[in-house]
Structure 1
Amino acid sequence: MKNKVWFITGASKGLGLTLVKRLLAEGYKVAATSRDVRQLQNAVGSSSPNFLPLQVDIVDNTSVGDAITGVIKKFGTVDVIVNNAGYGQLGTIEELTDGEARQNFDANVFGTLNVIRNIMPHFRSKKAGHIINISSIAGFLGAFPGWGIYNATKFAVAGLTEALSAETASMGVKCTIVYPGYFKTNFLLQGSLKLADSPITDYKEARDLETIHDTQIVGNQPGDPEKAAMAFIKLAENENPPLHFFMGSDAVGMANTKIGILQSSLTANEELSKSTDY
């Protein structure tokens, strides 16, 4: 397993950085990307020959393609992809401009698609590989006021990964959607989380949730990034990894809540639902 080569996007902070450090400590070969390669090198703090830091614009397909070509040239192959790059965008559906929404989709969705398109020829040729796409519990349970666009990007990541899993089933390529809950990283801090440029005070629920994040959640997240890194490694070592993986007790709890709501709705409306058949 230690011979596997990992390719991780968005690796200069957060879960991506913790995973890179753990993999290098465990003896894996790791290629990692960031918009600022010097920041990435300083954050990782390693000059190991097993580490390949890459400056990549995840939204630029050519930049992504060149990076993957460089990894294969250096290490001979890629075995595990972790699409981790992205950022949080706060703001209600009305508040966010078209530009704000599209930028979030560019980073969180189209960046992931760029990596998938560029790695799949390699994975198809060797009939092996594992693509781990980072969604969020907000990509399964969307009822967070003020997070609608971000939620939509993470629902999109989950949906495209389900389709990719079905498309590659006969090729030996495995796919996993990871839905993290709250982890004690810098995700909720300035620089990783963008606010709406033009907030509207009428949206009380959204403003209240922003306050809760600032005053109650930041610093009290239940998830341990080091344990998350070990969970990623275990997923990659699993011969039959799950398509859906909820990471953290809070994520599991929220997922069960959503499943319960769906089951209740299905049961309560079953007669009306089936009344539309011929």
Structure 2
Amino acid sequence: MNTNKVWFVTGASKGLGLSLVKKLLANNYRVAATSRTISALKQNIPNFSDSFLPLEMDITNDENVKASIEKVIDHFGQIDIIVNNAGYSQTGTLEELSDKEVKQNFEVNVFGLLNVIRHSTPYLRKQRSGHIFNISSIGGFVANFPGFGIYCSTKFAVAGLSESLAEELKSFQVNTKPGQFYSMLLWLQNTR
């Protein structure tokens, strides 16, 4: 894959997102990475270069997401690969979770991802190329995990909107890959 491509990775300060960002930077890709706090990114990726743009972003704030995408365009001149990785697992039985806990899990896992899609796809459609990876979970395909009903329902939503998005963007040569993190890494490995 052409290392001039620009990756935009949400939820990049720890876990899978951080691992991906480190791998991309080690292979000379240009990367914009987001976290709720920029200090978390700076702490975990201390050697900055022009090919790395750390961004503090609240994925649940539509205007903040829009401003972050615009910063990527201003810095790199383009955006090519979106990795919607930000999210969290809300645990608790369905009857014990509060309305606030349920809504917050949907705000982050579904509507936050949708905010990124809304503000990045106009650039991908205009350039008639790109990829979107919406990181899901096995919980987005089967929900037989007691105590994870709300989390699973958010991931089912991600799978459904990803399938529809793939059809909406197909004629613009933008590929959408719903699925788990390992499927994205396999795709990355096979496109080198």
Q: CA RMSD in A?
A: 1.5
Give the TM-score normalised by structure 2.
0.95
CA distances 1:156-200 after superposition (whole Å, capped 9, x unpaired) = 0000000001111111110001225xxxxxxxxxxxxxxxxxxxx
- Which segments of 5 or more consecutive residues in structure 2 lack a partner in the other structure? none
- Which segments of 5 or more consecutive residues in structure 1 lack a partner in the other structure? 181-226, 239-278
**How many aligned residue pairs are there?**
191
Q: CA deviation at 1:45?
A: 2.0
Matching of residue 123 in structure 1 with residue 78 in structure 2 = no
Q: What SS is found at the alignment partner of 1:88?
A: coil
Q: What SS is found at the alignment partner of 2:95?
A: coil
Matching of residue 84 in structure 1 with residue 39 in structure 2 = no
Query: Could you tell me which residue of structure 2 aligns to residue 154 of structure 1?
Result: 155
Q: CA deviation at 1:229?
A: 7.5
Q: CA deviation at 1:51?
A: 0.4
- Are 1:19 and 1:229, in contact at CA under 8 Å, matched by a contact in 2? no
What amino acid maps onto 1:234 in structure 2? Answer: Q
Query: Could you tell me which residue of structure 1 aligns to residue 188 of structure 2?
Result: 233
Change (3 A) 1:168 1:106: same
- Are 1:83 and 1:134, in contact at CA under 8 Å, matched by a contact in 2? yes
- Are 2:133 and 2:184, in contact at CA under 8 Å, matched by a contact in 1? no
Higher Rg of the two aligned structures: 1
Change (3 A) 1:167 1:33: same
- Are 1:88 and 1:150, in contact at CA under 8 Å, matched by a contact in 2? yes
Whole-Å separation in 2 of the counterparts to 1:155 and 1:94: 19
- Are 2:110 and 2:154, in contact at CA under 8 Å, matched by a contact in 1? yes
Q: What SS is found at the alignment partner of 2:178?
A: strand
Whole-Å separation in 2 of the counterparts to 1:159 and 1:106: 16
Percent of counterpart pairs with the same letter? 52
Q: CA deviation at 1:41?
A: 1.2
Q: What SS is found at the alignment partner of 1:42?
A: helix
Q: CA deviation at 1:231?
A: 2.7
Change (3 A) 1:229 1:161: closer
Whole-Å separation in 2 of the counterparts to 1:61 and 1:46: 30
What amino acid maps onto 2:6 in structure 1? Answer: V
Q: What SS is found at the alignment partner of 1:168?
A: helix
Correspondence 1:1-278 to 2 at 5 A: 1-180=2-181, 230-231=185-186, 233-234=188-189, 237=191
Query: Could you tell me which residue of structure 2 aligns to residue 191 of structure 1?
Result: none
Give the TM-score normalised by structure 1.
0.66
- Are 2:32 and 2:72, in contact at CA under 8 Å, matched by a contact in 1? yes
- Are 1:5 and 1:77, in contact at CA under 8 Å, matched by a contact in 2? yes
Whole-Å separation in 1 of the counterparts to 2:114 and 2:185: 25
What amino acid maps onto 2:188 in structure 1? Answer: I
What amino acid maps onto 2:126 in structure 1? Answer: S
Whole-Å separation in 2 of the counterparts to 1:143 and 1:228: 22
Whole-Å separation in 2 of the counterparts to 1:63 and 1:69: 10
Q: CA deviation at 1:234?
A: 2.9
- Are 1:139 and 1:179, in contact at CA under 8 Å, matched by a contact in 2? no
What amino acid maps onto 2:136 in structure 1? Answer: S
CA distances 1:229-278 after superposition (whole Å, capped 9, x unpaired) = 8435236x38xxxxxxxxxxxxxxxxxxxxxxxxxxxxxxxxxxxxxxxx
Whole-Å separation in 2 of the counterparts to 1:64 and 1:232: 26
